[in-house]
Amino acid sequence: MSQAVTITEVGLRDGLQSWPDIVPVEHKIEIANSLIKAGVRRLEATSFVSPRAVPQLADAEALIAGIERPDGMVIEALVPNRRGGERAVGVDIWVAFMSVSETHSRANSNCSVDEAFERIRPLPQMAAQAGASVTAALAVSFDCPFEGQTPVENVVTLARRFQDIGVRTLKLGDTIGTASPARVARLITALATAVTDMEIVLHFHNTRGLALANVMVGLATGVTRFESALGGLGGCPFAPGASGNVATEDVVHMMVQEGIATGIDLNALIEAGRLFGDILKTDLPAHLQRAEPVGVLHPFNDADRAAG
């Protein structure tokens, strides 16, 4: 098991894409910069999809321009096609997002899996000309809300297609939060054999409370990159039953307990989550927004005592 992992924070994109109220860009910038001050060094900040499709992310250019960029900072954003690439100025990693299943692809992108891939095919060369690179992200890598269990061979086939066009990083999305530890291990093992040069990134939703268990299986199988969202916010608007991402606070807290370095200050991260909740005027579902980190002690004199 690795002694260090890299966490990509996705709350401003995946966390907010289904949020019903438009969040002003200055508040998004404030959250981004608070995360960076807490030590986050990979931030999936937004998506260059059509503003009509996702109005919450229509401010993508302004958000990217307002984020602080310390040394070593990597900014990621979803870039679905050439038009998105033309807008993605200042983005280091273009995340080419598509679905593994045909039905979810129709719901999410209004096209087939093959059509979605053809939209993406020109992006690696286009990104290289802009000084960026492309990462592939596969939605419904474990289950589709319309078709059921996603065959492992379908994920492997798409991974090979991406490898063939020069993509070297693959994000596996547990879009509706149905992955279980045994299935996570099985898919990672299959990919490790089929696409030996690809780096795997795991993206879990905590819909059924299995996300941290799945992260641990990822660690045990050699994965060192994970995605999570501040406060545990999020969910795909085009996948019935999808709910929040695994919370960054909870992932970092678990890594602290396991002695695995993340480079992120847990207390500062929790404060960033509180700020996020205040801005959204909601209680966020992260466990570490409701419970203190392990090891925090309380004065005995402040404790309630049994009568008698």
Q: Does pLDDT of 238 surpass 60? A: no
pLDDT digits (tens, 9 = 90+) for 82-98: 999 999 999 999 999 99
Residue 46 CB neighbours (<10 A) = 30
Q: Are 99 and 134 in contact (CB under 8 A)?
A: no
Whether 236 is catalytic: yes
pLDDT band at 237 (very low <50, low <70, confident <90, very high): low
User: Cα 212 to the chain's mean position, in Å?
Assistant: 14
Instruction: Tell me the torsion sign for CA atoms 224, 219, 157, 203.
Output: negative
pLDDT band at 300 (very low <50, low <70, confident <90, very high): confident
User: What whole-number distance in Å separates Cα of residue 81 and Cα of residue 83?
Assistant: 6
Q: Does pLDDT of 229 surpass 80? A: yes
181 phi and psi angles, rounded to 5 deg = -55, -45
Overall average pLDDT of the 251-259 stretch = 97
3-state secondary structure 19-55: CCCCCCHHHHHHHHHHHHHCCCCEEEEEECCCCCCCH
Give the DSSP per-residue string, 209-263.
S-HHHHHHHHHHTT--EEEEBGGG----TTSTT--PBPBHHHHHHHHHHHT-B-S
Q: Are 142 and 179 in contact (CB under 8 A)?
A: yes
Catalytic residue among 236, 246, 255, 269: 236
pLDDT digits (tens, 9 = 90+) for 44-65: 999 999 888 899 999 999 999 9
Q: Does pLDDT of 239 surpass 60? A: no
Rg (Cα) of the chain, in Å, rounded? Answer: 19
